[in-house]
A and B are shown apart, each in its own frame.
Chain A
Amino acid sequence: MILSRLSRAIFGARLLLWLGVCMGGTISAAHSERIVADLSERVIKISSNFTGSDIVIFGTIERDRATVSRGEPYDLVVVVRGWDQTLVSRRKARTFGIWINQDRRLYSNAPNFYAMSTTRKLVDIAHPSLLAKLQIGTRYLLLPPTFKPQDRFATYDPFRVAALRQMREKGLYTDDPSSVTFLSKSLFRSTIPIPSNVEVGEYEVTVHLLRGGALLHSSTQKLHVAKTGFEQHAFTLARDHEFFYGLACVLIALFTGWLTGVVFRKN
């Protein structure tokens, strides 16, 4: 879906560019800037000594000759996002003297991982409605599909706030304003830390280019997180051949238990 959205965006950009050229440059080609970006690593490998990792996203803003340079600066937003899952937020209440989980709320559009870095504060970059639409910033996550920024107080939801806070505490949701740095006028780089509790799977790294509160271009790369070696074998075995994995665990336990008896009998 994101791919199709992306190709539509690229198609739209090309169309506008073509229109701009045809009309003799009378329309300033608002979408003529492009981002070319890449990652320092395409695959993060989890082995037994994995305690987290950093990925570096770097790239350049390409402009064609027709682009009129304006006073407003470019803004870049880098988002590393996993896949959507359903989060359950539960609230404890006192019942018969003990604290029990009572009410709960579900959020089906919660990414398992979300890390964002920008050139400056989000409020300066774009209007909340655009940020919510593009899902830029952790505070625009877990929103209902019908969300409108003007009725923020109407949709104030303590369950959602708590879920966001706890995901941030776990290091799974992060906002890092002003961590995208420009090396020159068009060359940029950003470092995003990937915590050790990250899940295995395919992630999307998207770079959004904005100026004057409008989105100019987005570019998406894939990032894979995979277990290697023993960690991978144990994980796949436990998931796909659960009975044999369980049996192997029991056999290892029996063997360890027997071995202990043998080792310590002499003493």
Chain B
Amino acid sequence: MELYLPIAEMPVNIFVILGMGGTVGFLSGIFGVGGGFLLTPLLIFYGISPAVAVASVTAQITASSTTGALAYLRTGNLDLKLGTVLFSAGITGSTIGVFVFKQLRALGQLDLIISVSYVTFLGAVGTLMVMESVRAIVKARKGIVTTRKPGQHNWIHGLPLKMRFKKSKIYVSILPVIAIGGSIGFLGTVLGIGGGFMLVPALIYLLRVPTAVVIGTSLYQILVTMGVATILHATTNHSVDIVLALILMVGGTIGAQFGAQIGQKMKGEQLRALLGILVLMVGMRFAVDLILEPTDHYSTEVMEVSR
């Protein structure tokens, strides 16, 4: 069934888009991540312009992270204070991101930046996740139990301007928190991803936030940052397609429910290994496109008229 998208100005097959949203929702339900890093590329491969794809996925991530954040808020596994500091920085990052996005679009290098960033971040995060989880799986096989030792500090704990986050049981400098929130906000806006797959490891490994609190807090930060990014995309680039976003929301939420049931039956390190492989594969897909000679060396685009 064809449905005309009012902002993308093209008809799409509603079942294909529902299927994409559902599949990505299913995977994100299994792994507990937003899945924007999968959904945006899929929409671009389908033929929706990168600008509309990025902006509409931003709205979809807002919806999916609302569901998640509310669930974690009910069980008490959400650090509101840490999340608020993170998103204050995140909003600043988003604002810069939207303007950079607009400039890149005008320069004709948006596609390149999106591709290079995907290769860099997905490659790096994917490799780290696979390495870490393989190590964990090997340790579990050997029967070694690792516990967090008290007083084990890294260089981050030596920074000034310390702040106490009770729920996360950490006493840490506010500077790395701002840096993490800001860069996730910036990248999320430019790349159309929530950034959960980068934020979760950053909170666990850099700030030593307990795993139980991490996902809820990261969902809360993503919810606010992506909400603001949606408004910024709508005002600066006029590229949020609400019809597209709604189809993705419906597909995504249904898929996520089935995914979550499977995710609960799997072990944490296995999940992280699989997610790492998935992240790496998406990164490789972009790398291949950059390195192989394109079939068409030319691309045509309508020059934006400033209204």
In the complex, the answer to whether B232 meets A246 with C-beta atoms within 8 Å is: yes
The answer to whether A99 and B290 touch (CB under 8 A), given A243-B235, A246-B234, is yes
Q: Which of A144-189 contact B (CB under 8 A)?
A: 158-159, 162-163, 166-167
Question: Quick check: is A24 within 8 A (CB to CB) of the other chain?
Answer: no
A260 interface contact, C-beta 8 A: yes
Stretch of A11-19, A60-68, A71-79, A100-108 that contacts chain B: A100-108
Evaluate contact between B227 and A245: CB separation under 8 angstroms: no
The 8 A CB mask of A103-137 against B (1 = contact, 0 = none) is 01010000010000000000000000000000000
Q: Do A245 and B66 have beta carbons less than 8 Å apart?
A: no
Binding site for A on B (CB under 8 A): 2-4, 6-7, 9-11, 59-60, 62-67, 70-71, 108-109, 111-112, 116, 223, 227, 230-235, 238, 240, 242-243, 245-246, 249-250, 253, 257, 290-294, 296-303, 305
Closest residue on chain A to residue B110 by CB atoms: A101
Contact A246 B233 (CB under 8 A): yes
What interface size band does chain A fall in?
35 or more
Contact A238 B298 (CB under 8 A): no
The reply to whether B6 and A234 contact each other, CB–CB distance below 8 Å, is yes
Contact B67 A261 (CB under 8 A): yes
A50-B4, A243-B235 known; A163-B300 Cβ under 8 A = yes
B242 touches A252 (CB 8 A): yes
The closest CB in chain B to the CB of A47 belongs to B4
Asked whether any CB of chain B lies closer than 8 Å to the CB of A7, the reply is: no
Contact assessment for A89 and B300 in the assembled complex, using a CB-CB cutoff below 8 Å? yes
Contact between chains at B302 and A253 (CB < 8 Å): no
Q: A47-B4, A246-B240, A253-B230 are in contact. Are A101 and B108 (CB under 8 A)?
A: yes
Complex contact A254–B235 (CB within 8 A): no
Of B62, B234, B235, chain A has the most CB atoms within 10 Å of the CB of: B234
A46 CA to B5 CA, complexed, in Å: 10
Chain B: minimal CB distance from A213 (Å): 33
Question: Is A197 within 8 A of B230, CB to CB?
Answer: no
